[in-house]
Amino acid sequence: MVTLIAEPLTIDSFKEYGTIISPEEEISRLGSLEKSANHGTAIKLLQVSRVENGSSSGVPNWNLFRCFPQPHLNRAFTPGSTRGVLHKVEVLEKHPSSSQTFVPMGRNSAEVAYLIVVAKEIANKPDLSTVRAFTCLGGQAVTYGLGIWHAPMIVLGVQEHLDFAVLIYESLDPEYPERDCVEEHYGHAGIHITV
């Protein structure tokens, strides 16, 4: 059993597991990788999230996931709150041939909207000594790096559901997504996270 406390998602805290798209954080760090766009009515921030393809047969594909909060997570979460809720993760998965980007849709950008759990790999299994959990705002998208172990999406909050637009490289063969998804099950012991 692994026990940990979820921490707020930031570009620096997640860099060992992939990349994130965090507009407010990016705007506050403006530097050389930005330029004016839309005839001066926008700022374009370049190279904010890396998409990887480890398979020559995969093509970029957008999927849509409608995710629902589990009953114990169907409550308001406030950044910095000291009152936690325990959540157990019983499975981690990875996609050996593609990164995977989750873009939340329809939540307030400053609202704590979902939880992610990630781990690096050791001997083709999740390295539980590297497991971390992050609370994500409605305005933050996450890209799991190629082969990074992660929990299925975990929705937080009082909304009925949260939609995610998901970018992943897939074959047009209908069975390919299952072959590119490897799961590791932990049963009732699981990974215990305080959110």
pLDDT along the chain (195 residues), means of 10: 91 95 82 73 84 82 94 83 85 93 93 96 96 96 95 93 93 64 89 92
Q: Is residue 29 part of a domain?
A: no
Max alpha carbon distance in the chain (Å)?
55
- What's residue 158's pLDDT? 87
- What's residue 162's pLDDT? 96
What's the domain count of the chain?
A: 1
Q: Is residue 102 part of a domain?
A: yes
Q: Which of 69, 161, 166, 26 is nearest to 107 (CA)?
A: 161
CATH number of the domain to which 78 belongs? 2.60.120.480
- Within 10 A of 112 (CB to CB), how many other CB atoms are there? 22
- What's residue 145's pLDDT? 94
- What's residue 30's pLDDT? 73
- What's residue 148's pLDDT? 96
- What's residue 101's pLDDT? 96
Number of residues that make up the chain: 195
Q: Is residue 93 part of a domain?
A: yes
Q: Is residue 142 part of a domain?
A: yes
- Distances from the Cα of 19 to the Cα of 84, 86, 141, 145, 179, angstroms: 26, 26, 9, 7, 24
- Residue 97 to residue 146: CA distance in whole angstroms: 7
Question: Bridge partners of 168?
Answer: 61, 100
- What's residue 80's pLDDT? 65
Q: Which domain holds residue 150?
A: 2-22+50-194
Q: Is residue 43 part of a domain?
A: no
- What's residue 7's pLDDT? 94
Q: Which of 193, 108, 106, 114 is nearest to 157 (CA)?
A: 114
